[in-house]
A and B are shown apart, each in its own frame.
Chain A
Amino acid sequence: MLRIECPCCGPRDHDEFRYGGDASVMRPRHDDPDPESWYRYVYVRKNPPGPHSEFWQHVTGCRQWLVVERDTRNHSILSVGFARK
């Protein structure tokens, strides 16, 4: 099991969280006319074997969206912070 150290609630089982995918992907400006940037935003992922920055929401706790850095090879969690800056 993963244990995510929620900055509000402390360490919690990952069953309390919802996964939100790759947090390094940036949404294009809403008036960006280039289909290529939308294609990349929706579909292309680096999918690294190693440290991965990703969104998790603490749905059954404080409901905050977090950015978690996790090693995808062994699930060790390197850092946790709020998604809102």
Chain B
Amino acid sequence: MSRYSAFSIFRNGLSGQKNWQRAWRAAEPKPAYDVIIVGGGGHGLATAFYLAENHGIRNVAVLEKGYIGGGNVGRNTTVIRSNYLLDGNTQFYEFSVKLWEGLSQALNFNVMFSQRGQIVTAHSADQLDTFSHRANVMRLNGIDADILDRDEVRRLVPYLDFSDTARFPIHGAILQGRAGTARHDAVAWGYARAADGHGVDIIQNCEVTGFVRDGDRIVGVETSKGRIGAGKVGLAVAGHTSVLGQKAGLELPIESHVLQAFVTEPLKPLVDHVVAYGADHFYVSQSDKGGLVFGGNLDGYNSYAQRGNLGIVREVAEAAIALMPCISRVRLLRHWGGVMDMTPDASPIICPTPIDGLYLNGGWCYGGFKATPASGWCFAHTLATGKPHPLIAAYGLDRFRTGHTLDEAGAGPAAWLQ
């Protein structure tokens, strides 16, 4: 694989851009691999890359039922941050932000990580208190955090509603300056190319339909391209964890739900940061093409339909205008949905499973994009050694049985309540 560089752009320009190599091979399955990763999203591809890069395990296949990047890795609103409160989350997500900071270099692929900072507005004195608590926890963990008063917020983001008639007046905000966004497709493509460069087979249009067993142990998978043997199998299938888990005999605390994203027509530069509305579930950033990218709530009921419903469009538009009245005449161009695993405590599940040979990476809820590098790093470690990486010790499946849930959202036991 030839490396991308200023020189390679120049050289390929001279030959009319006709001689670029494919970014990854169109691999067909071999009879068996040391490790099979099911799911060619960000997490699956990152896992394959770190298996090769960190552990020297290169006889690896990533099996994707559609095309890579067609799932949530290409459907999310790209927000990356580590402003978490609970032990276990704080350290894991900060490790991820650190990996993001060097990712374009590590992959030789520009993932356009833009550390524009994330501002979460506070709408009462109490809310600002809880943000101060969070900022203290972050700082004690070596993570950047600032508490802003109303005037400081106004200086940074004057286009929010600071009028006397604001539905929820802004008291202040928490700012993480190192938070930001990345180009989500580039993350899938960059990991795919780098994994392929280490010899990993990326096999698209290959759906896993079942598991091959030897006694109790899983020794391979049945796929739409035939049976493939595996020393170990890792699931990283985002919203479809229940479907495959059930085929393997796993009973899981997961529901699949749809989350939507929205883009407006392109505007001149307006929103420099990622801004999240503390009074409702809404956030906004501006893409490099100028569109405002919005995120909001779940559609709110179990769904495997990879599309959203209109009720949420109205809710998100209402929240957008309550926070930013200046965009009330801007047109929404598109909205789409992604299917995600929702866990009862809104934290992920990455661990070896009770089934020999089977490893699980799922339950990312609506926050797994930012986790992509750390998730791949830690899942690769778990697959290579058979033991959870210390950074994911809190993300085991048995935490629901033992009462050690990680309820960052404080939303209680039902995914549909989040």
The 7 closest A-B pairs by CB, nearest first: A43-B253, A47-B242, A49-B304, A19-B301, A43-B400, A73-B304, A15-B311
Contact assessment for B304 and A43 in the assembled complex, using a CB-CB cutoff below 8 Å: no
A39 touches B254 (CB 8 A): no
The distance from the CB of A73 to the nearest CB of chain B, in whole angstroms, is 5
Which A residues are CB-close (under 8 A) to B344?
42-43
**Residue pair A42, B302 in contact (C-beta under 8 Å):** no
A19 touches B310 (CB 8 A): no
- Proximity bits, B88-114, A CB within 8 Å = 1, else 0: 000000000000000000000000000
Judging by beta carbons under 8 Å apart, are B255 and A45 in contact?
yes
Task: Assess whether B336 is interfacial by the CB under 8 Å rule.
Answer: no
**B interface with A by C-beta (< 8 Å):** 240, 242-243, 246, 251-256, 300-305, 309-311, 344, 400-401, 413-414, 416
Interface assignment of A60: CB less than 8 Å from any CB of chain B: no
User: With an 8 A cutoff between CB atoms, is A8 at the interface?
Assistant: no
Residues of A within 8 A of B255 (CB): 22, 45, 47
Asked if A58 is an interface residue, CB under 8 A from chain B, the answer is no
**Nearest-Cβ distance from residue B399 to partner chain A, whole angstroms:** 10
Partner of A44, one of B240, B243, B252, B309: B252
Please tell me if the beta carbons of B305 and A75 are within 8 angstroms of each other in the complex: yes
Given contacts A19-B300, A54-B301, whether A1 and B310 have CB atoms under 8 Å apart is yes
In the bound assembly, the distance between CA atoms of A1 and B400 in angstroms comes to 34
Most B C-beta atoms less than 10 A away, residue of A39, A47, A52: A47
Q: Which residues of A contact B303 (CB under 8 A)?
A: 72, 75
Instruction: Give A5 Cβ to nearest chain B Cβ, in Å.
Output: 16
Contact check, A19 vs B416: say whether CB atoms are below 8 A apart. yes
Give the chain A neighbours of B300 by CB distance below 8 A.
Answer: 19
| Nearest B residue to A19, CB-CB | B301
- The reply to whether A72 and B311 contact each other, CB–CB distance below 8 Å, is no
How distant is the Cα of A54 from the Cα of B246 in the complex, in angstroms? 20
Knowing A15-B311, A54-B301, A72-B303 touch, does A45 contact B254 (C-beta < 8 A)? Answer: yes
Query: Which residue of chain A has its CB nearest to the CB of B253?
Result: A43
Known: A43-B344, A45-B242. 9 other contacts (CB 8 A): A1-B309, A1-B311, A21-B416, A22-B255, A44-B252, A45-B252, A72-B256, A72-B303, A75-B303
> Which A residue sits closest to B245, measured CB to CB?
A47
Alpha-carbon distance A75/B240, docked complex (angstroms)? 17
CB distance from A3 to the nearest CB of B (A): 11
Is there contact, CB below 8 Å, between B253 and A45? yes
Min Cβ gap A78→B in Å is 14
Cβ A52 vs Cβ B311 within 8 A: no
